[in-house]
Structure 1
Amino acid sequence: MDANTLIDINQQKQLLAKTISMPAGYLDDYHQHPWHQIIFPVSGLLQSEIDKRRVVVPHNALLYIPAGTPHKSVAFTHTEFSSLYLNPASKVTFCHAPKSCLVTPFFKELVLLLLKQADAHDNKATENLLRVLNDQIIAAANYDIPLLKPKDRRTLAIFEGLIDQPATRLTLAQWALQVGASERTLSRLFAKEFNQSFRAWRQHLRLVLSLELLSTNCSIQNIALNLGFASDAAYISAFKALFLNTPHKYRQFMLQTKTARSLSYCQ
């Protein structure tokens, strides 16, 4: 059942939850919901476009989308995320602007509790938890990981090539020969669309691709080498600068979230 149908038949509730799974490459084109939505990643990689911004939503973040806000998402890999839908007619008045939030341990536990609470009968406790949720959204640090997927067909060809072989060491000049553009043109395209050099964008892409590998048993060293980093130390340093955490701590955070979600379904 799609989210808006679920909302239509549960207008009396304050809170609904739904797990959404997308195959790699799936595009959930522009749509909107009559209730507020929270996107909480479980596995995979999701890029969302909302309010003229495109952001990647990693596993230590969530995306808050106010009711009636058009948005679309694309799955880089097979992706699963939990969605909370919050009734704007409830007694809790939520934020009016979309926000990508850094998730603290307390914030994560609150969201997991609400995902579980959505299956229970509404009560005063649910309302109180929703008030705390709104406070957490307001207080959370903005956490925008910029877009990665290009629109121009030539830079898109480079993106697709790196998705298939992220460790490839082709220079921009070598890519230029493959995609039918000059090195200068490609350099200008990356600067225009991403405000980054090709090398910075490529590292950014490799770091985001590493998130999926961190959900496997692959060692940190092998992840670094498989993605083209010179060493695990170089990978760890770059990862921490972008994701505000070490790969090891990020992996722990992600695995704890998966375990908690599994347990909530079993109870």
Structure 2
Amino acid sequence: MPPTPRPRKATPPPVEWIDRTTPGARRLPPDAPHDPDADARADTYAASPAYIRYDRSPMPVTAMAADYAPGHVTKPHQHPHAQLIHAMHGVMVVSTADGQWIVPPTRGMWMPGGTVHWIRMVGRVQMRTAYIRPDAAPDLPTRCTVLGVTALLRELILAAIDIPLPYAPDSRDGRLMRLLLDEVLLVPTLPLHLPRPSDVGLRQICDAIVESPDTDLTLADWGNSLGVDPKTIQRRFARETGMTFGQWRQQARLLAALERLAAGAKVVDVALDMGYGSPSAFATMFRRQFGVPPSAFFR
């Protein structure tokens, strides 16, 4: 039988939105009046006039800052402009209908415009986001991906947050924004994606693995549980995710491990909790996938 899902934690208080360009408006309280429905409070900032000023600006590039409480989860939403989402502190777990991405502080998430997504915060997250008008950078990715964030790109994002709107394209501010776009084109993409299949049976398997990454259920076990030939399950995994069952489970474990490590867990504890026989086996697989040992990933 599939593993019993672990209970979800309650959602903590919502976001504080930081406006660095409007005098006297440093923070917008999370309960700012715009919708009496309590469920909407988690994303109050998204309906504020100041937020929309960035999200739908005619400027090629805009940037804003927002701080989130640990465990906060945004509601599914989308933006007309593309986003480069970067966390100065904390880890973001970004989800869409196509899968899940882990975004540590030294990385960034590229989100094409019009993509419905939601974000779960691991630790207190200091999010810094650049919004990019679709026609401003036609060569940028058309799919969600995690990007490396260089020291220069990080500083450009921070500088962009302080630029008031509107700005002249040929001004110093306009040139800084163009340099930000140029730098995004140069940074590498990273393998921090866990694809989500559309097949109902595969989703049942994947959801169970995400809930319990240490599960040792085999393809044969899942075949017996679902009444499907294991070879059929393997073919469906390859077709829908581009991975074998084993590769997908390995990726799920590694990304879950990143979350735990980001929260301060010890490598030995994470290795055993993820189903590895020893810390060295975990470190070997981690280095093979990410190019560095677990102890160096967040440096």
Q: 1:1-267 to 2 correspondence within 5 Å?
A: 1-2=45-46, 5-6=49-50, 8-9=52-53, 11=57, 15-19=62-66, 28=76, 31-33=78-80, 35-41=81-87, 42-48=90-96, 56-59=101-104, 60-65=106-111, 69-75=113-119, 78=121, 82-86=127-131, 88=133, 93-98=136-141, 100=145, 101-115=147-161, 117=162, 126-252=173-299
After TM superposition, the score normalised by the length of structure 1 is: 0.72
Question: Residues 43-96 of structure 1: CA distance to partner in whole angstroms, max 9, x if unpaired?
Answer: 2421346xxx76625324323346xx3212244x5455735244649xx95444
Partner letter of residue 103 of structure 2? Answer: P
Greater helix content: 1
Decide whether the 8 Å contact of 1:27 with 1:72 is kept in 2. Answer: no
Distance 1:154 1:25 in 2: 26
Q: Secondary structure at the match of 1:196?
A: coil
Q: Secondary structure at the match of 1:15?
A: strand
1:136 CA drift (Å): 0.9
Decide whether the 8 Å contact of 2:74 with 2:118 is kept in 1. Answer: yes
After TM superposition, the score normalised by the length of structure 2 is: 0.66
1:214 CA drift (Å): 1.1
Q: Secondary structure at the match of 2:189?
A: coil
Partner letter of residue 141 of structure 2? Answer: P
1:37 CA drift (Å): 2.0
Decide whether the 8 Å contact of 2:215 with 2:275 is kept in 1. Answer: yes
Partner letter of residue 105 of structure 1? Answer: A
**Aligned counterpart, 1:260:** none
- How large is the Cα RMSD of the aligned pairs? 3.6
Structure with higher Rg: it is: 2
Question: Residues 230-253 of structure 1: CA distance to partner in whole angstroms, max 9, x if unpaired?
Answer: 22222222222333333222233x
Distance 1:112 1:243 in 2: 26
Tell me the matched-pair count: 241
Structure 1 residues not aligned, in runs of 5+ = 253-267
Distance 1:118 1:48 in 2: 30
**Aligned counterpart, 1:265:** none
Is the alpha carbon distance of 1:158 and 1:172 closer, same or farther for their aligned partners in structure 2, counting shifts above 3 Å? same
Decide whether the 8 Å contact of 2:130 with 2:157 is kept in 1. Answer: no
Distance 2:178 2:50 in 1: 23
Which has the bigger relative contact order, CA under 8 A and spacing at least 6?
1
Decide whether the 8 Å contact of 2:94 with 2:101 is kept in 1. Answer: yes
Decide whether the 8 Å contact of 2:96 with 2:117 is kept in 1. Answer: yes
1:227 CA drift (Å): 0.4
Distance 2:233 2:74 in 1: 27
Partner letter of residue 82 of structure 1? Answer: M
Decide whether the 8 Å contact of 1:62 with 1:103 is kept in 2. Answer: yes
Identity in percent: 20
